[in-house]
Amino acid sequence: MTTEIIVASIGAIATILAAYIGASVAAKRQVDKGVKEISENLPSWDELFEHDENGKKIKGDINRLIEAVHNGYPIKVKINRPQQQDDIELMDAEWIFVENKTVVATNTSQISLGKDKNGNYRYFKDAYHYYVIVSSKGQHHATRIHIDGRPKGNPTDGVRRMTWIGLVPPRQ
């Protein structure tokens, strides 16, 4: 009789274990499916509009950038350095506005930095604020003001190729 009880118990345990494993596998599949569905609906960084130095469209859509600004989505601006083809600067657009289908962005949180004799980046001893204004027409304006409020040199104006990147919901 004890053997029968042991065999019956083992059979019951095996059935319960098989059901548990099957349920766990099914639950994992549901979680994986849910995570995928959720992640597909989360905002992600997307290149919205890229233009040349004169604001001429390379790719993207200015209206999509404008819509992102109107919706208050975070925007970054990738600025191509004119002297080095593959070198870029990436700035957060802190204050952004749209005027006559042109997007203008500023960044005022930068402190000057440069390379030392070994090629390592360092903050300058006589540091200054670096204020930037850029536009979707290619404009790039910079003003430099020492930390103590003294102007540093003259403002600079130029044009740059830029890519405007937004943290936007997926396209439907």
Q: Quick: pLDDT tens for 28-84.
A: 676 666 666 767 778 899 999 999 999 999 999 999 999 999 999 999 999 998 777
Say yes or no: 30 and 75 in one domain.
no
Residue with tokens 């204020």: 131
CA distance linking residue 66 with residue 87, whole number of Å: 26
Strand locations in the chain, DSSP E?
44-51, 57-60, 75-80, 88-92, 95-99, 102-111, 113-115, 121-123, 128-135, 139-146, 156-159, 162-168
How many domains does the chain contain in total? Answer: 2
Say yes or no: 33 and 98 in one domain.
no
CA distance linking residue 85 with residue 81, whole number of Å: 7
Say yes or no: 7 and 57 in one domain.
no
Say yes or no: 76 and 108 in one domain.
yes
6 pLDDT higher than 80: no
Say yes or no: 16 and 66 in one domain.
no
pTM recorded for the entire structure: 0.76
- How buried is 172 (Cβ within 10 angstroms: 0-12 exposed, 13-18 middle, 19+ buried)? exposed
Say yes or no: 114 and 61 in one domain.
yes
Say yes or no: 34 and 58 in one domain.
no
Say yes or no: 82 and 155 in one domain.
yes
Provide the domain limits for residue 85: 44-168
